[in-house]
């Protein structure tokens, strides 16, 4: 606690909370408690706190919108660092838009629409933040971040630098930020002038498809498994007769088998057990090993 008091004295804009349940900070609505939750509103504070945690060997987790995250029931022993509400600025640029890491993907897409800029329609229904979206090269309906990122502003542990999109090693649900353990602070997007009516129509079409095919009425982490080469995870799971299968409050969605949903009262362990059941069954039937797309962190109880 003394180290946290020192942090508080150093950064007046830093909010420090102790023993915080993390379920409310993830879209799955499960997970244990974090020793500390640190909320930073400024770029310098965010980087300074991260540097301090590393120097003091305090385990840390950077938390975005929590849309691609499963925190175990034992919680996280260390500090969870998140971006405050002030860290979501979006600006018009000559080439398109610049967004800070805390901005929501949906708000970024809406801002593009308002400015008559095409290229981010796919991001309209993605629940994550810009930082998380860039980190994992999020995508949907044939579009992904790699197609529109001009440069990424990162803290590499020593300094803040802008990395061209061409040097981010983007691949399916992957970026160089994962390899280098970079902290993403923001990203610039190269977008094209477009017709607002056409942009909005494409967004409405994508939104309608999501409502029809995805279990948006339940807490989930989106697609739980990565798409295996030559297959679709959801199809493999459905063909394995796993739709509707449950462990505790966690269920394979009856609407879209690629989604594991929280039907109510689920624990992280429910999801972990269900994940293994799905993986084992699909492998036994098709010889395909499904890889988890959701990031799993924390301690077992």
Q: Which residue has the higher pLDDT, 4 or 260?
A: 260
Please give the average per-residue pLDDT across 204-215, as a whole number. 92
Integer distance in angstroms from the first to the last C-alpha of the chain?
Answer: 23
pLDDT for residue 133: 94
Is residue 173 annotated as part of the catalytic site, yes or no? yes
pLDDT at 84: 87
User: Is 114 among the catalytic positions?
Assistant: no
The residue annotated as part of the active site, out of 67, 173, 220, 240, is 173
Query: What is the pLDDT at residue 147?
Result: 97
The Cα–Cα gap between 146 and 224 comes to 21
Q: Where are the alpha helices (DSSP H) in 13-123?
A: 43-55, 105-114
Q: What is the tens place of the pLDDT at every residue in 84-99?
A: 888 899 999 999 999 9
CATH architecture group of domain 215-297 = Alpha-Beta Complex (3.90)
Q: Please check whether residue 212 is in contact with residue 233, taking contact to mean a CB–CB distance below 8 angstroms.
A: no
Q: What is the pLDDT of residue 19?
A: 96
For the segment 72-85, the average pLDDT, to the nearest whole number, is: 93
36 three-class SS = strand
CATH architecture of 2-86: 2-Layer Sandwich (3.30)
Question: 88-198 domain in CATH 3.30.465.10?
Answer: yes
Query: Could you tell me the pLDDT band of residue 280, with boundaries at 50, 70 and 90?
Result: very high
Interior CA angle at 97 toward 92 and 102, to 5°? 105
Helix axes 105-114, 196-213, angle to 10 degrees: 150
How do the domains of the chain map onto residue ranges?
2-86, 88-198, 215-297
Mean pLDDT of 270-283: 98
pLDDT (mean) for 236-258: 97
pLDDT tier, 6 (very low <50, low <70, confident <90, very high otherwise): confident
Residue pair 236/281 in contact (Cβ under 8 Å)? The answer is no
* Share above pLDDT 90 across residues of the chain, in percent, rounded to a whole number: 82
- List, for residues 135-174, the tens digit of each pLDDT value: 999 998 899 999 999 999 999 988 999 999 999 999 988 9
Mean pLDDT of 78-85: 91
* pLDDT at residue 9, as a whole number: 86
Active-site annotation holder among 67, 175, 223, 253:
223
pLDDT at 1: 67
Verify whether residue 293 is a known catalytic residue.
yes
Catalytic residue chosen out of the listed positions 144, 153, 220, 293: 293
Q: How confident is the model at residue 243 (pLDDT cuts 50, 70, 90)?
A: very high
Name the nearest CA neighbour of 38 among 70, 16, 6: 16
Torsion, Cα of 151, 157, 160, 163 (10° steps) = -20
- Burial of residue 17 (CB within 10 Å: 0-12, 13-18, 19+) is exposed
Q: What is the pLDDT of residue 269?
A: 97
């Amino acid at each position: 606690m003394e180290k946290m008091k020192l942090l508080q004295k150093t950064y007046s804009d830093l909010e420090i909370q102790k023993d915080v349940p993390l379920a409310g900070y993830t879209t799955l609505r499960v997970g244990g408690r974090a020793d500390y939750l640190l909320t930073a509103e400024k770029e310098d504070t965010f980087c300074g706190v991260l540097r301090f945690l590393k120097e003091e060997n305090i385990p840390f987790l950077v938390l975005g919108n929590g849309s691609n995250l499963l925190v175990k029931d034992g919680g996280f022993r260390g500090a969870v660092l998140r971006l405050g509400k002030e860290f979501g600025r979006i600006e018009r640029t000559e080439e398109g838009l610049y967004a800070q890491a805390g901005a929501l993907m949906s708000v970024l897409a809406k801002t593009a629409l308002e400015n008559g800029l095409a290229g981010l329609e796919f991001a309209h229904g993605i629940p994550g933040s810009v930082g998380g979206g860039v980190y994992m090269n999020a995508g949907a309906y044939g579009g992904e971040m790699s197609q529109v990122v001009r440069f990424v502003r990162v803290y590499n542990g020593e300094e803040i630098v802008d990395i061209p999109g061409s040097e981010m090693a983007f691949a399916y649900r992957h970026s160089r930020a994962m390899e280098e353990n970079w902290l993403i602070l923001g990203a610039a997007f190269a977008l094209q002038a477009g017709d607002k009516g056409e942009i909005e129509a494409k967004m409405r079409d994508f939104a309608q498809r999501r409502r029809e095919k995805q279990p948006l009425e339940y807490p989930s982490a989106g697609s739980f498994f990565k798409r295996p080469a030559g297959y679709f995870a959801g199809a493999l799971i459905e063909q394995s007769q796993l739709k509707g299968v449950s462990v505790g409050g966690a269920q394979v969605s009856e609407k879209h088998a690629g989604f594991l949903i929280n039907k109510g009262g689920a624990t992280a362990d429910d999801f972990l057990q269900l994940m293994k059941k799905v993986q084992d069954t699909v492998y036994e039937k098709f010889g395909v090993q499904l890889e988890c797309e959701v990031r799993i962190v924390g301690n077992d109880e």
